Structure 1
């Protein structure tokens, strides 16, 4: 309840829109498509987006007009997934076209004339739910006849019949008659130099050079090529040489065996 279920839960969906989607896949797809176009100048970016949309609509138009059948391919996949569950339904008739449909431990009221089911799935997506589909199977009817018009092939074709008209080059574009648009004036060269010196002119995403590491020194002999721990290990290895054992304390005291 804290996340406002009216914005994402199907139980609060508006009846009549016939859409059950709750994700933003269309926005993500659009952003991914115009990724390269966004790097261009304003007019060139709009031209790139227009061209991408024109080509995409042409592809969808060819796909929809080549499809044969009453409903779209999505409806066929939708009903195919429900067929196995719908075949397990038990149907009991009532008056005024209503039926009581049992599925497992649940029962719902279905009316094919009004295209409604108490599970609300039929009204939300416009495609028969498993309870309505179970009733359709028992009555040996065609499920596609009870699909809403927005999921039918003729509506799919209408959406992509009229696409974006191809355009000519900028030389043939009509003039607005307004003032010409010019780039903003550049600041004085001295101000630009000051900004560059302060590092304000650099991109915020530019990687900065790594700082030099602090040079370590040995605490015993003061050399820069090793530390005191390595110095002590080196002295221990040199304590036994030519039958003579030398013990070293801080590199100063020695004793012969």
Structure 2
């Protein structure tokens, strides 16, 4: 950011105006153990209830209740089968970092502070504070390869340094609750007071199923933004701000010829024409006499 402010102070001010704490990892709060900067959680749940959203309000809520009720039980059963103290996905991430730890050179400074050399980089690891210069351990709560090298240097277990939120016990506590079942509409209590449902107002057009897209998002390719806001470069005068169609020097500068396209496939070998015997020529062209063939030879 300091280098950006020296080059263009307005660009740095505009970047900070977009609240980088919600999308830039350098400004995020490290107490929240997550490096996700997208809204995938909301998009996933939206796809999870996409069929229920098309129904009436009561039946929509009933479908969502039944789906969540079953999901809580299934997730709890799957985690109870795990023998490891960590969640399976966290354990796989930790195993990948363990493979990289062999490339680190550990230099102890104190009992819990180390200097780690990783290829051409040099970092500081504090096991008590659970911090590393790369900030990966600070943000995710999973020890990076630099921290794992220090943990192995002390002959400690790597799983003991993983944040508590990734433990199997905490996962089971999160799914310990349950949604109670409900009787069907036939068994609901009846009352004497007549209650009419609110009037249903049907809007024009087909009900929306997909999410509201960004105004500059490409409708054909989901998740891809258009080239809006990008500064174009002219291929004639090499000046930014316009293209060759609106170039002021369009008739003055001759466009450079494009490079010839390479032929597809293997180049064909040149074959020399085969020499035919005079008798073969006479057989193919019966109107040619032997005298004309001798003169041509």
- Fold match by TM threshold 0.5: yes
Find 2:108's aligned residue among 90, 93, 104: 93
C-alpha change, 1:176 and 1:111, in structure 2 (3 Å) is farther
CA distance in 2, matches of 1:6, 1:133: 28
| Residue number in structure 2 paired with 1:246 | none
Q: 1:150 maps to which residue?
A: 165
TM-score, normalised to structure 2, is 0.58
- Within the candidate set 60, 80, 93, 1:65 is matched to 80
1:48 — aligned with what? 63
Partner of 1:224: none
If asked which structure has higher relative contact order (CA below 8 Å, sep 6+), I would say: 1
Change in CA separation of 1:31 and 1:176 when aligned onto 2, cut-off 3 Å? farther
Distance 2:23 2:191 in 1: 44
1:112 aligns with 2:116: no
Gaps in structure 2 of 5+ consecutive residues: 1-11, 208-297
- Tell me how far apart the structure 2 counterparts of residues 181 and 66 of structure 1 sit (CA, whole Å): 49
Q: Which runs of 4+ in 1 moved over 6 A?
A: 174-179
- 8 Å CA contact 1:127–1:147 kept in 2: the answer is yes
RMSD of aligned residue pairs (Cα, Å): 2.7
Q: Give aligned pairs, total.
A: 191
Does the CA-based 8 Å contact 1:87-1:137 persist in structure 2?
no
- Deviation of 1:46 after TM superposition, in Å, equals 0.5
Mean CA deviation greater in 177-186 or 78-87? 177-186
2: CA distance between counterparts of 1:74 and 1:95? 33
Larger radius of gyration: 1
Which TM-score applies when normalising by structure 1?
0.66
Q: Sort the Cα spacing of 1:133 and 1:168 in 2 relative to 1 into closer, same or farther, 3 A.
A: same
Report the Cα offset of residue 204 of structure 1: 6.6
Pairing partner for 2:140 from 119, 125, 137 = 125
Partner of 2:94 in structure 1? 79
